[in-house]
Chains A and B, each alone.
Chain A
Amino acid sequence: MRALLLKRLLQLVAVSWGVGTLTFFLMRALPGDMAYRIAASRYGMDAVDNRAADMVRAELGLDQSAWSAYWQWFTDLLSWNLGNSLVSGAPVTEQIWHMLGHSVLLALAGILLSILIAVPLGLASAFKGGWLDRVLLTISTALRAVPVFVIGLLAVIMFALEWNLLPVAGFGTPAHLVLPALTLALSLAAISNRVVHTEARRVFGSSFFEFARMKGLSPSQAFMRHGARNIAVPVVAFLGIQLITVVEGVVMIESLFSWPGIGHGLAHAIFARDIPLIQGAALMMGVLFVVMNTLVDIACHYLDPRGGQLS
């Protein structure tokens, strides 16, 4: 477990270094008149002159040598000085914190909903088999074949545009959360219900489950005492693997629904070439990802006392 936490810590360092370096490259790769363009977008076309462009250049360190600029960039990063947005001029850290709340809300709602969908369906199809299993397999296969934004798009067309049940996009009321969370949940549950199914079948067919029955436990006693936890261990571990899907889903879904989270911010920043914001958003995504992974690690450790066998 300690080795695992150390590894996660290493990943935090790696995220900061990696994102920092990549965005640094990104900045140096900007075309020559970029400072001018950024200045124009910030101060308006009329107000821009060479002085303003020079200010931007200095702010981004474009006038320094590559190494000293890189060093400057890093000391700023380490002191959590992420600079100001090139578009709005507001401090990046402030914006990031604001977006983080929305993203976490969406991610948690999506994960929770996916568990509520996947666990009962997976268990039921493992118990019952037959037509239920085939129907679920078909739906799961179909959902897996379309990217998450297509699921979202279809949900918008059906629930918002055709039936007018829910708002198309935006945020503020609980109703705004329904479609984004449902979209994320569906894309997650499409895979995880099959994992629950497979693991449940494995446990139901295992020697220890059979022996639990043989020594006299009733089916429900055997399930409660020996089934549930043995199914939960690999399923929770799989949740860790699915975190990638969660984060990627969040990026796409936020963009689709204009949900003001980090993913939406990142996509926008990339489109607008707002480098400080790109760095901040990507950094936060990475940190969020590593933190969630760590939480899953801890959950696995708690559920599976054998420890260390899953990762």
Chain B
Amino acid sequence: MSISLTTTQKSGAALLLLLIVYAVFGPMLQEGDAATQNLSHIMTAPNSEFWLGTDHFGRNMWIRLADALQLSLMMAGLCVLTSAIIGVSAGVLAATRGRWLDRGLDAIVTMILALPGLVLVLIFAAIVPGSFWMLYVAISLIQWIEYFRVSRAITQRLTHSPEVQSSKLMGFGQWYIFRRHYWPAIAPQLFTIAAFGAANAILMMASLGFVYVGIQPPLAELGLMIVEHFPYYSDAPWLLAQPLILLALVVLACQLMGRGRTQ
């Protein structure tokens, strides 16, 4: 199956690729690490030695931003992968394997949806403070629902469709029907959900960092950096601008990729 991307999606993908390259290879281009403080070089403006300047502890911003971006992208990737696999399998099974499973999953979804996602993540974050993995579990716990609902709806619609009935009459098995009928209908939707899901995961982590209950200092995290740099906004506006712009760019890249023909 070939996926033809729109111009908008292509520009989103290009931007995302650029950001990934920076996150992975950026730190190699400069010496030092994200944690080393250098109090004789605090809040240096970007120059040839520190390409993006230094923060209020004299830490190298080029490396810190790349580290923070790595963390965000990793969170987004893990959450998308986990929730997509769980959500799609559960959705297809709910639609094809009898009523009780469907009812049970529906009850679980109703329960999870009773609480706004961010509040749920906040409580999870409180159980093990500053834990990347706890955030990952909490965000995935919320995000699988979207995949579940969409794949369940599509599968439900298809189970009684002529194309599936026809394949069944011809003697094809469940796995074949999934491969030829369910999956091709679900896959294009998946891409959109995944793109927006990635954006939301990144926003969620940044939001938690912003209210000080996410990733803890001295680790570099975009939301945390924004709140740490805010007091210096008049002395060093570029310092606050950097994580802000980076966060906006990575979210924009994901959202552009998700914007298909339908919107």
Contact = CB atoms under 8 A, between A and B. Distances in A.
Q: In the complex they form, do A and B come into direct contact, defined as C-beta atoms under 8 angstroms apart?
A: yes
Interface of A: 7, 10-12, 14-15, 18-19, 22-23, 25-26, 29, 141-142, 144-150, 153, 157, 161, 243-244, 247-248, 251-252, 255-256, 266-267, 270-271, 273, 278, 282, 285-286, 289-290
A69 B127 CA distance: 18
B118 interface: yes
Contacts of A10: 107, 110
B115 A19 contact: yes
Interface string B208-250: 0011110000000001001000100110000000001001110
Given A22-B127, A147-B203, A252 B211 contact: yes
A153 B123 contact: no
Most B Cβ at <10 Å: residue of A15, A147, A278, A290: A147
Contacts of A252: 118, 207, 210-211
B248 A145 contact: yes
A169 B129 CA distance: 27
Most A Cβ at <10 Å: residue of B114, B211, B244: B114
Contacts of B210: 147, 149, 252, 255-256
Given A22-B123, A29-B127, A289 B206 contact: no
Contacts of B248: 142, 145-146, 150
Interface string B180-218: 000000000000000000010001001100111100000
A37 to B, nearest CB: 13
B126 A278 contact: yes
B211 A267 contact: yes
A217 B128 CA distance: 63
A15 B115 contact: yes
A146 B210 CA distance: 13
B116 A289 contact: yes
A286 B127 contact: no
Given A150-B247, A244-B116, A271 B123 contact: no
A286 to B, nearest CB: 5
A285 B125 contact: no
A286 B115 contact: yes
Given A11-B113, A22-B127, A26-B123, A248 B247 contact: no
A145 B210 CA distance: 16
A295 to B, nearest CB: 15
B213 A12 contact: no
B126 A273 contact: yes
Interface in B94-136: 107, 110-111, 113-119, 122-128
B252 interface: yes
8 contacts: A22-B127, A26-B127, A141-B252, A144-B255, A248-B117, A270-B125, A278-B126, A289-B115
B209 to A, nearest CB: 10
A11 B110 contact: yes
Report the 6 A-B pairs with minimum CB-CB distance, sorted nearest first. Answer: A11-B114, A145-B252, A14-B111, A247-B116, A248-B118, A267-B211
Interface residues of B, number: 38
Given A25-B127, A278-B123, A286-B115, 7 more contacts: A10-B110, A11-B111, A22-B123, A22-B124, A282-B115, A282-B119, A289-B115
Contacts of A18: 111, 114-115
A146 to B, nearest CB: 5
Contacts of A11: 110-111, 113-114
B119 A7 contact: no
B213 A251 contact: no
Contacts of B211: 251-252, 255, 267, 271
B115 A147 contact: no
Given A146-B248, A244-B116, A285-B115, A19 B123 contact: yes
Contacts of B257: none
Contacts of B206: 147
Contacts of B244: 146, 150, 153
B88 interface: no
Contacts of B123: 19, 22-23, 26, 270, 278, 282
Contacts of A23: 123
B122 A251 contact: yes
Nearest to A290: B114
Given A270-B213, A271-B213, A146 B247 contact: yes
A263 to B, nearest CB: 8
A141 B210 CA distance: 22
